[in-house]
Amino acid sequence: MKGSYVLIIENSKDIEQEIGKIGCVAFEKSFYAYVGSALSGLERRIERHLRDPGDNKKLHWHIDYFLASPTVEIKEVVFAESADSKECEIATIISRDLAAITDFGSTDCRCPSHLFVSTSLSRLKELVYTSFYGLGLELYSMVFPPAELNWIDSLY
Q: How far apart are CA 12 and CA 129, in angstroms?
A: 23
Task: Name the helix (H) or strand (E) containing 38.
Answer: strand 30-38
| Predicted confidence (pLDDT) at residue 145 exceeds the cutoff of 70 | no
Q: What is the pLDDT of residue 24?
A: 95
Q: How far apart are CA 115 and CA 103, in angstroms?
A: 9
Q: What is the pLDDT of residue 156?
A: 37
- The set of residues, in sequence order, having a beta carbon less than 8 Å from that of 145 and lying 6+ positions away, is none
pLDDT digits (tens, 9 = 90+) for 127-137: 999 999 999 99
**What does the pLDDT average to over 102-123?**
95
Q: What mean pLDDT value characterizes the chain?
A: 91
Q: What is the pLDDT of residue 36?
A: 97
pLDDT digits (tens, 9 = 90+) for 14-49: 999 999 899 999 999 999 999 999 999 999 999 999
Q: What is the pLDDT of residue 35?
A: 98
pLDDT digits (tens, 9 = 90+) for 48-67: 999 887 767 788 899 999 99
| Predicted confidence (pLDDT) at residue 153 exceeds the cutoff of 70 | no
Scanning 1-156, the segments in alpha helix (DSSP H) are: 42-50, 62-67, 87-95, 121-134
- The Cβ of residue 23 has, within 10 Å, a number of other Cβ atoms equal to 9
SS3 of residue 78 by DSSP = strand
